[in-house]
Structure 1
Amino acid sequence: MNNTKITAIAEIGQYAYKTQIFSGGHVIYADEPENLGGTDEAMQPASLLLASLGSCTVITLRMYANRKQYDLQHIKVELTLEDDNMATALTNITRKITFTGNLSNEEHARLMQIAEKCPIHKILSNPIQITTTS
């Protein structure tokens, strides 16, 4: 495994909560809904977390299916993070994966195993240490 560092920079100006996020030459935005004082112009940070898991899952599955030449036309991942769990010791994310294509039972089962191997899934499933400096 390579030791490449992935970096991101988040900045906020005088907007209510709209935040610019820079990484690898790309820019995305995060915001909060209006009922929380934001402008609702971008996804909430928790939605970005789910988007990371979902996109990593479908990319990992697509790579595997292409390599194995499975007849897999479409992959859909639906994710839910319960708001009630955000302040507790256990975070519960529900992930539902739907495949469209001509897959055997064995291929379907193998893809479900491969989903567990997506790098973001591995990161979120292990203890995470966050070191903050100023």
Structure 2
Amino acid sequence: MAKTPITAITELDKSNYKTKIFAEGHFIYADEPKELGGTDEGMTPGALLLASLGSCTAITIRMYADRKQISLNSIKIELSICPEDEMDKSTTITRNIELEGELDDQQRERLMQIADKCPIHKLLTNPIKILTQ
């Protein structure tokens, strides 16, 4: 089976900053808060970045736990980052992972290690090139 690239299309007309995002048959909005001139009808780009990391981390942990038959009931991940206008190469994302289930210390430690194996974590912790055309 051939692997296909992940794609997304964003569209922004004159509707302030409310941006339409289409990806793989799904649709969401990104936006800015009203105090920045947006309509506040979608997550900010920074929140979308955190959502991407959080969901990828949770999915990666869940896949591993299921494969290893670890009794993991739920995963909660709280993430934070500085305001977008302060982001630079030294920006730190804080990620707090809560694992619920009948886990021993070794399983809990292994699941925390697996969290760093998610593809988005790997992407964000390495140099990224963006080619603009």
Q: Normalization by structure 1: what TM-score?
A: 0.94
CA RMSD between the two structures: 1.4
After TM superposition, give the deviation of residue 55 of structure 1 in Å: 0.2
Which position in structure 2 is the counterpart of 1:80? 80
Which aligned pairs between 1:41-52 and structure 2 lie closer than 5 A?
41-52=41-52
Q: What is the CA-CA distance between 1:42 and the residue it aligns to?
A: 0.6
Alignment CA distance shift 1:59-1:87 (3 Å):
closer
Structure 2 residue aligned with 1:8: 8
Change (3 A) 1:60 1:127: same
CA spacing shift, 1:101–1:85, aligned 2, 3 Å: farther
The offset of 1:46, in angstroms, is 0.5
Q: Which letter does structure 1 place at the counterpart of 2:32? A: E
Q: Which residue is equivalent to 1:26? A: 26
In 2, the alpha carbon distance for the partners of 1:55 and 1:70 equals: 19
Q: Hey, what's the Cα distance between the residues in 1 that align with 2:129 and 2:90? A: 15
* SS, match of residue 129 in structure 2: coil
After TM superposition, the runs of 4+ consecutive aligned structure 1 residues lying more than 6 A away are none
State the 1:87 CA deviation: 3.7
Q: Match for residue 17 of structure 1?
A: 17
Rounded Cα–Cα distance in structure 1 between residues aligned with 2:84 and 2:34: 20
Aligned to 1:89: 89
Consecutive unaligned residues in structure 1, runs of 5 or more: none
Q: 1:20-79 deviations in whole A, cap 9, x for unaligned?
A: 001111111100000100010110011000000000000000000011111110100000
Secondary structure of the residue aligned to 1:122 is helix
Amino acid at match of 2:7: T
* Residue identity (%): 58
Instruction: Work out the number of aligned pairs and report it.
Output: 132
Structure 2, unpaired ranges of 5+ = none
